[in-house]
């Protein structure tokens, strides 16, 4: 039997903000989703859920992603979550859609 949970607006906004911050930090470091997922020890699909603010992902995984990326988790003074989410979204629109890792050039001249 599947349990359907409901979350408050504030909880949903906090999840969305953390996801956007993780995505932004990952792209600023030019890491692919696969690279970060491997560093955390999770699948790429789970990382995509974290970045989208999916509330079903274990909080420990989201926090581990934040720590690996160097995202400060708690601040004494911060703007409202809605403003922070919008700011992160604005920055993400300026980032590349995909991050590709450089492939090594094969020397095949014998």
What per-residue confidence (pLDDT) applies to 26? 95
Q: At residue 65, does pLDDT exceed 90?
A: yes
- Percentage of the chain beyond pLDDT 90 is 60
What per-residue confidence (pLDDT) applies to 80? 72
Confidence of residue 79 (pLDDT cuts 50, 70, 90): low
Interhelix angle 59-69/33-40, nearest 10 degrees: 110
Cα gap 80→14, rounded to integer Å: 10
- 3-state helix vs strand vs coil in the chain, percent to 5: 55, 0, 45
Confidence of residue 103 (pLDDT cuts 50, 70, 90): confident
Report the alpha-carbon angle 80-82-85, nearest 5: 110
């Amino acid at each position: 039997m599947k349990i359907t949970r409901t979350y408050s607006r504030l909880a949903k906004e906090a999840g969305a903000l953390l996801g956007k911050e993780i995505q932004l930090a990952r792209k600023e470091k030019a890491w692919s989703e696969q690279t970060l997922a491997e560093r955390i020890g999770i699948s790429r699909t789970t990382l995509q859920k974290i970045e989208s603010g999916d509330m079903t992902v274990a909080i420990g995984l989201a926090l581990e992603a934040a720590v690996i990326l160097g995202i400060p988790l708690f601040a004494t003074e911060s703007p409202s979550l809605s403003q922070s989410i919008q700011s992160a979204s604005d920055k993400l629109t300026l980032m590349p859609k995909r991050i590709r890792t450089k492939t090594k050039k094969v020397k095949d001249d014998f």
